[in-house]
Structure 1
Amino acid sequence: MENQLAKSTEERTFQYQDSLPSLPVPSLEESLKKYLEAVKPFANKEEYKKTKEIVQKFQDGIGRKLHQKLLERAKGKRNWLEEWWLNCAYLDVRLPSQLSVNFAGPAPYIEHYWPPKEGTQLERGSINLWHNLNYWQLLRKEKVPVDKSENGPLDMNQFRMLFSTCRIPGITRDSVISYFKTESEGHSPTHIAVLCRGRVFVFDVIHEGCLITPPEIYRQLTYIHRKCHSEPDGPGIAALTSEERTQWAKAREYLISLDPENLTMLEKIQSSLLVYSIEDSSPHVTPEDYSQVTTMTLTGDPTVRWGDKSYNLISFSNGVFGSSCDVSKLTEVIFPFNCLG
């Protein structure tokens, strides 16, 4: 995998971050022109005429002053929009993020080599996890090739947010914390969290400096699966991450007030590379129809999904996979790069 993805030993994944151009502020005229173009298909002649008058008044009046403030803001920031967008579109939203904000989707493996088959969940899961962990190592070593356009390198910062990143609920506004570091930057977490039947397990994926093997991952998953299927279900604390954001924030504070050890456990989940979810259900799926697995990936058992994590890798009983991800610092754009396995 390293040979396939890291063709160049000269470039590092994040080496251009500090030299990328700042986000430009479009001209006021250009922005208003695009606004009118967007409105036109939805307005009749009279409505469109009225809208043009309002836009012109804005352009000649307060719009000029507001645009000047944008220009002043842009002078001191690489990205004048990012903070506003992050807060207004995601972190200030009080709706349950798992259904209202997060994105989810199926893995395409069934089309090539892993058709649905009962009894394959853990074996396939160990292989899938191993490939994901290899990708994590490539990011740590900055050997993932820099994405580029005709004009030069693109911003690779979102790749930092794929692993060891988590959203933290707040009473009025959430926050995002990332524990990921490249090898040159220092230590980065090396454990994953596994959720199964309302319980949370954590194990390290590095042993004596090396990534553990698929058989070793399989042994861990088998132990977890057997334990959870031979004992009563756990408390399902992960379901709280599917709550309305302020309610989840209050519940989290209450848990921490009960016992400081609860904060330690929460931080273990927050800092984990990813959350691996072991589902009992078996969604119907064919190369022509992903609808059921897509729905179940997004709306399945809330006790085995940590809705705040940047990456939940979900395995179903029939060996089918999906992922559910917090979108506040991560977009769907980078996931095709990580369709490994």
Structure 2
Amino acid sequence: MAALRLPPVVSRLSAVGRAASPAGWCRARIPVGGGTLQRASSSTPDSDYLHESIVPTNHFQKSLPRLPIPKLQDTVRRFLNAQRPLLDNDQYRRTERLAQDFEQGIGKQLHEELVAQDKRNKHTSYISGPWFDMYLCARESVVLNFNPFMSFNPDPNPAFNSQLIRAVNMTVSAVRFMKTFRAGLLEPEIFHLNPAKSDTALFKNIIRFVPTSVSWYGAYMVNAYPLDMSQYFRLFNSTRIPRPVRDELLTDDSGKHLLVMRNGHFYIFDVIDQDGRITKPSEILAHFKYILSDSCPPPEFPLGYLTSENRDVWSSLRQRLLEAGNAEVLNKIDSAVFCICLDDITIKDHLQLSHNMLHGNGLNRWYDKSFSFILTKDGSAGVNFEHSWGDGVAVLRLMNEVSKDTTKRPAVSPTTLPAAVDSSQNVQKLEFKLNDVLKAGILSAKEKFDTSVSALTVEATVFKKGGKVFLKKQNLSPDAVAQLSLQMGFLRQYNKTVATYESCSTAAFKHGRTETIRPATIYTQKCCEAFVKQPSKHSISDLKAMIGECSKYHGQLTKEAAMARGFDRHLFALSYLAKSKEMPLPELFQDPSYIQINHNILSTSTLTSPAIHFGGFAPVVPDGFGVGYGVHDDWIGYIVSSYPARDVTEFLKCVNKSLDDIFDVLEGQLISG
């Protein structure tokens, strides 16, 4: 299967991307999950499901191609290509020598062992275990360091944008998604290269009869590429549990209740009834209305802050919670279907929205849940998700389906009356037993949280002179131009080229996670220096040609990454293997240039979807920028975060100036001063 040529079938933002730091390795066995699949009976009401796919959800999973391990010589070549714009000649020669020694020596041995190990574990991918370890062994707070956010577009009908109505509709649609998935009725995730041929009723009616052992090949024959869906089962009833050294992922699909947070208080009520059906929307409406009517002020010691702590500290405090008699309430939080956070604030602008969805005030969050819907008083909505269990592919599918379902088939409307039920009997407010050690731990966590989020700055900009439509007419990759503007902006501000990370999903392969696109290249370096330092020395046609070279090479890197032919994951796995064998760390991985290229000052990810307004994340290093961006038909938008070491306002000015210059040149105009 590795010989098949696969197109770059997944957009870079489906990975929503945290550029994870390759630190905190440990050895552990990683369970690879499945899901509870129960086909719906014919008597089940349609209102419980998003749709009923005739092709079973996991029809292609068994025959998905395995994630290929690149050839070591290709990995070394790509690694050196990425290093070239970051190093001077002396540094490069040293790194080149170390890389070649690695390729001929210890690297060859490790690579052979990795390949042999992979052949023994055909049920998964070579990166799955190490990648789980990388996340779960990290001891830093998940807040800012790992959890990203995505915000929903408003409901097109303004009357449905109230906090109460939207909370009910999103709850019902998300539970519909869960039931549809678990019944095996959710449409499989497929990239259709030729939708007219493959995204049809005829294709579905034929492919469903193709045996699962070869079904992927049947889709491949008509240029349709099923994607890995192994992460989806972690969306629901899932929580990251803090443990010493390495955290645990818990999924308990026996939970039938929703977790609701408001003012730092915890509430639960069942969203699945005794017959396995979704609780009546009018009853859910009554329960949310009851919770919103609770006038209790925030608790003196809000427990949610603990999930923002260092993982070892949180692990120790969780043990104290258990010893204090809180096992039952913690289990109810952990096993809840998902979490909805009702925030008592009104959003004034997109910067406030970004801060609220990315971290909030810490009071009204349980950051360890697989995902949380966050709704503010004005009906603004978003998702904050814990990243260890999976990538943005599953979360984005959930958001797309929820957005579509809530707008096309809302469960309640502004005129819906709450059911005549006694919510005080159906909604349970969770109470915790806290001793002095726990109270002190909560206050300490709050202090650390406030300090860390106060250091974060988020800014945004919108470039309105053009976008995807214009750039495609110029035969340019829109993503390449957006990335070029970041390189050019950074050079303009700081006079240097730095390590840059762009996430790319490898969901085209079984248990694929992500690969890295390295947008800082010799082509972007040459182009940026021409634009920033010597624009008058180059003709418009020369500058256009440079932009074209950047676009062509970026397209090649993107295709390679989507086909799992990058270098980052391969080198990461080799380094992980050396550590797991307790070998001396190969010299290549101790080289300052290797450390530098993994110190991603520009961490970037792109997202466009009809459901999504924008998304973002914090920088992955103290002196970096976290860049979420989207190239739309006629405009380009950026949400950028930074800590005090960087000036994000000036950076965005430089990015805007760079875009101005690029578009001027593409329109045949001289660069303005």
What TM-score results when the alignment is normalised by the length of structure 1? 0.88
Contact 2:53 2:186 in 1 (8 A): no
Aligned-pair distance for 1:7?
6.1
**Structure 1 pair 93–291 and aligned structure 2 pair: CA distance change class (3 A):** same
Cα distance 1:138–1:295, how it changes in 2: closer, same or farther (>3 A)? same
Where 1:193 maps in the other structure, the secondary structure is: strand
In structure 2, the partner of 1:327 is 387
The 3-state SS of whatever aligns with 1:84 is helix
Q: 1:34 maps to what in 2?
A: 78
Aligned to 1:270: 334
- Measure how far apart 1:276 and its partner are: 0.8
Q: Distance in 2 between matches of 1:168 and 1:137?
A: 24
Taking a change above 3 Å as real, the CA distance of residues 14 and 250 of structure 1, as seen in their structure-2 partners, is: same
1:189 to 252, 255, 259: 255
CA positional deviation for 1:79: 1.3
Pairing 1:66-215 to 2, within 5 Å after superposition: 66-77=110-121, 78-88=124-134, 90-109=135-154, 112-114=156-158, 120-149=162-191, 151=220, 152-180=225-253, 188-209=254-275, 210-215=277-282
Residues 116 and 320, structure 1, Cα contact 8 Å, conserved in 2:
no
For residues 158 and 198 of structure 1, the distance between their equivalents in structure 2, rounded to whole angstroms, comes to: 30
What secondary structure, in the 3-state scheme, does the structure 2 residue paired with 1:105 have? Answer: strand
- Kept in 2: contact 1:5–1:145 (CA 8 A): no
Q: Deviations over 1:44-101 (max 9, x none)?
A: 233222222221111111111111111121122221211111112x111111102211
Unaligned residue ranges in structure 2 (runs of 5+): 1-45, 194-219, 407-673
Q: Percent identity?
A: 27
- Bigger mean CA offset, 232-241 vs 125-134: 232-241
8 Å Cα contact 2:50-2:177 kept in structure 1? no
Structure 1 residue 304 and structure 2 residue 346: aligned? no
1:5 and 1:199 mapped to 2: Cα distance?
31
- Aligned partners of 2:286 and 2:381: how far apart in 1? 19
Structure 2: distance between partners of 1:114 and 1:310: 29
How far apart are the structure 1 equivalents of 2:57 and 2:391?
A: 18
Q: How many angstroms does 1:121 deviate by?
A: 1.4
**Residue equivalent to 1:57:** 101
Supply the distance in 1 between the matched residues of 2:250 and 2:273 (Cα, whole angstroms): 26
Match of 1:316 in 2: 376
Larger radius of gyration: 2
Contact 2:307 2:314 (8 Å CA) reproduced: yes
Distance in 1 (CA, whole Å) between partners of 2:48 and 2:176 is 12
Cα contact 1:169–1:248 (8 A) shared by 2: yes
Note the C-alpha offset of 1:336. 2.8
Residue matched to 1:226: 293
The answer (yes or no) to whether the contact 1:116–1:318 under 8 Å persists in 2 is: no
Task: Verify the 8 A CA contact 1:14 1:146 in the aligned structure 2.
Answer: yes
Residues 229 and 394 of structure 2 are in contact (CA less than 8 Å); yes or no, is this contact kept in structure 1? no
Distance of aligned partners of 1:296 and 1:86 in 2 relative to their CA distance in 1, 3 Å threshold: same
Match of 2:53 in 1: 8
C-alpha distance in structure 1 between counterparts of 2:189 and 2:150, whole Å = 23
The residue number in structure 1 matching 2:69 is 25
Give the 5 Å matches for 1:248-259: 248-259=314-325
**Structure 2 residue matching 1:79: 3-state secondary structure:** coil
Secondary structure of the residue that 2:258 maps to in structure 1?
A: strand
- Whether the 8 Å contact between 2:52 and 2:180 is mirrored in structure 1 is no
Paired positions, count: 321
The Cα shift of 1:8 comes to: 3.3
More displaced 10-residue stretch of structure 1: 76-85 or 239-248: 76-85
CA displacement at 1:115 relative to structure 2? 8.2
Given residue 97 of structure 1, which amino acid in structure 2 is its aligned partner? V
Offset at 1:207? 2.6
CA contact (8 A) 2:149 2:358 kept: yes
Q: Deviations over 1:133-185 (max 9, x none)?
A: 111111121211111246442210111111111101012111111224xxxxx
Distance change in 2, residues 1:145/1:220 (3 Å): same
Q: Quick one: structure 1 residues 52 and 124, their matched pair in 2 at CA, closer, same or farther if it must change by over 3 Å?
A: same
Q: How far apart, in 1, do the equivalents of 2:272 and 2:97 lie?
A: 64
Residue in 2 aligned with 1:244?
310
Distance apart, 1:240 and its partner CA? 0.7
Matched residue type, 2:237: S
Give the alignment's Cα RMSD to 1 decimal.
Answer: 2.2
The code of the aligned residue for 1:128 comes to M
Inter-CA distance 161–4: structure 2 relative to 1 (3 Å threshold): closer
Deviations 1:249-289 (A, max 9, x none): 11100010111xx112111111111011111111224xxxx
Match of 2:566 in 1: none
Paired amino acid for 2:333: I
Q: CA deviation at 1:292?
A: 2.1
TM-score normalised by L of structure 2: 0.46
Contact 1:314/1:321 (8 A) holds in 2: yes
My pick for the range that moved more, 156-165 or 142-151, is 142-151
Post-superposition offset of 1:2 = 7.5
Contact 1:114 1:319 in 2 (8 A): no
User: In structure 1, what is the equivalent of residue 634 of structure 2?
Assistant: none
Q: Is the alpha carbon distance of 1:249 and 1:71 closer, same or farther for their aligned partners in structure 2, counting shifts above 3 Å?
A: same
Given that residues 109 and 115 in structure 1 are in contact (C-alpha distance below 8 angstroms), is that contact kept between their aligned partners in structure 2? Answer: no
